[in-house]
Structure 1
Amino acid sequence: MLDDQARAILRGNDRGGYTVPTDMLYPFQWNWDSAFAAWGFSTFDSDRAWREFETLLAAQWADGMVPHMVFHDAAPGYFPGPDVWGAGGDVPTSGISQPPVAATLMRMVWEADPEAGTERLRALYPRLLAWHRWWMQTRCASGAVAVCHPWESGRDNCPDWDVGLANVDGSGAGDYARRDAAQVDGEQRPTKLEYDRYLALVRFGRECGWDQQTIVERCPFLMADPGITFLLIRAHDDLAALGRALGEDVSEIAGWAAELRAGVQTLWNPELQSFDARDLRSGAWAGVVGSGALLCWLARCERPEMEAHLARMWDAVTYGLPSSDPEAPSFERKRYWRGPVWPQMNALIGLGLLSAGRDWDEARLREETAALIESAGFREYFDPLDAAPCGGDNFTWTAAVWLAWAGR
């Protein structure tokens, strides 16, 4: 029954060559949502899975960046829309990227049916390679991966970014209407103060023509992110595996992975005894253990001290792993990335636990994610204590995670 519902959600959110995260609330193609959609489609429609990747990567910029939003069709009333971003080529896009999970999920799609996917993989491989090179050349000067906007991390309003956002002046944001605040309980979404600052960063990017050098040098927000760093390390490993299968020379990719495995150690906060986000403008630590740090197993960068954080955060809630430390003052169990549990993060952390040989932990996380969906449906995210549904409904990545992982 839930399998049928999940497939129906993917088909219902399908707009031809791309999938929206959910109808109305998010009416465009989002980067990492799309990669999860492909993973879900691969369980019953391999051709449609590959078309999802193809459509996403067709919006790639000339410099290699794959944007976080692609505005294929008009959606009047959505804010901020393409006119606010002022970015992209033939198809308008946003001006920032998003978590680079495509290579990791593409590898799983390809391994499930190599015969159906090899030629399509061969065509997409150069685009993935260029995107990974973009990250390394534009965002890794500190050793780890930096993000220039909280939205780029995928974990929009998590407490990791508070220290960096404090230096962003959002007073000139003006009047605007948010579709998310109109359709979802405001207590589950980022605050207006946060949104004003997000828009100030979009305005900065647009005013400099989305020039990466200017953004890295002068953008008021630039933070090194353990979450993106771990995801990119794993993506490098998976891209190298795909390259080897295609007979490509992957020495450059292997070098990138080694470079980041060394560089992510700059994000070890000795006081917190955890990987932690760091403000590259001030040098200040975020000072909170977030779900990004729990991706260390996915990159095989785990340290013994992270075991205690994993156990403590997991045992403090009922369903999976919360997006932020339940014992921190900043924890809010229903507000977007400040506490709720996210099915796609559970899946990524679960893949990491499996890679590290922690089969029992992966099984527990998968079962708790399944229990969330069985209890509250295919929602965007959930209260980690009582499974209360939060955010959008009939959500693409929740359906995909059910089909490809949680519901197995």
Structure 2
Amino acid sequence: MESAELAYYEAVDINKTVKLTYGTRKETTYFGVGALASFGEALETLGINACGFVTYDPVYKDCGAWAIIEPILKERNVDYLMFDKVMTNPTTEIIDECRDMFRERYNHQFCIVAIGGGSPIDTAKSVAVLLEHGEKNAEQLYRKEFEAERRAPLMAVNITAGTGSEVDKFAVASILHSEPPLKPVIGTPVIYPDISFDDPSMLLSTPDRITACTALDAVNHVTEASTTTIATPFSVHLARAVCSIVAHYLPVALKDPTDLRARYWLMYASSIAGMSFNESMLHITHALEHTLSAYVTDFTHGLGLALLQPGVVAHIWSDELSAKTLSYVLKPIIGKFHGKAKEAHKVSKALRKFHESVGIKDTMATAGFAKDGIEKLVDSTFACPGMTDLLALAPVAVTNETLKDIYLTGFFDE
């Protein structure tokens, strides 16, 4: 990071709550250390008298969010229901169970509130839609058998630094009884949260491995968003900022997990990475990772992306514009390259070196996958609703052999 850039990042008052106005229906993401104290203001803005919380136990307490929210609810006499069964990679069955719990209490002054990362926020988005669509269920929603036309009031309290779901129009869920198991995505402006919260103090209890995996999730968001066929200067310049922040502040946070400034900037990087791919979508890496976490239901999303990113970047480096773009976007992480096709292998190795430097030394093998199962993974990727649409946004042609080669690269046999 250049000295002038670092001087700015170090000078910002991280304890000042600001409002980001992109990616929410009410144009408000409260951002900054202490931002969650504005939860009562948000309830008033939306006219809420009851909440349905969507989260997982005990994380919503361990991170400190509940210690802030509960007194605000009591002070304002706001009743609530608590659904705390969300797991990594939530299923359509869990979404339906949450919907059923909230249904009897639901009216338009009842707000769905996610506390967590991508899994609770995506679950909350889905539940908010289903509460407004009669007898429709989550599997029908994710198989795109009906359009999400409206939803219940919705807020997102984000407590990780990778997902971006608090500021985007996407959600994912797993359909595990299917053969193959699927993890499709829905995308519609209907599911933007009304109001979101990014409070870096919620990150202080995050384990080092999750800190690294979520930061690499943000990096993958922008690696893809900056190189889709619909990328814009907006998504590209956000991408460069994300990589600059992660390259500097991820090692700081891993060395001292209590460093609030590092947490602040990693959360900001995650948020603007969400804005970047909300603008320009994603392509190969996320399509492939959704297959991995459909088969291994407790698989960490950011880890899967890290296993795939070196192979994906090497593949798209053959496209001249993508190589030039990523030479700019990824420079803080991989060093100086010139955007030449012959650099692809070295770029891939540089990415892997960065992953290892922040503690991610896993391979496809250590994650539980075998080379003789690659064909099945490839077939499953093409079978998942919506994934061919993502693959079509890649800057280069994508074939079965392409996906096979990328999965194989993740074994890192060299």
Please tell me the TM-score bracket, short chain as reference: under 0.3
Q: TM-score, normalised on structure 2?
A: 0.27
More strand by share: 2
Q: Quick check: which has more Rg, 1 or 2?
A: 2
Structure number with the bigger relative contact order (C-alpha 8 A, sep ≥ 6) is 1
Q: TM-score, normalised on structure 1?
A: 0.28
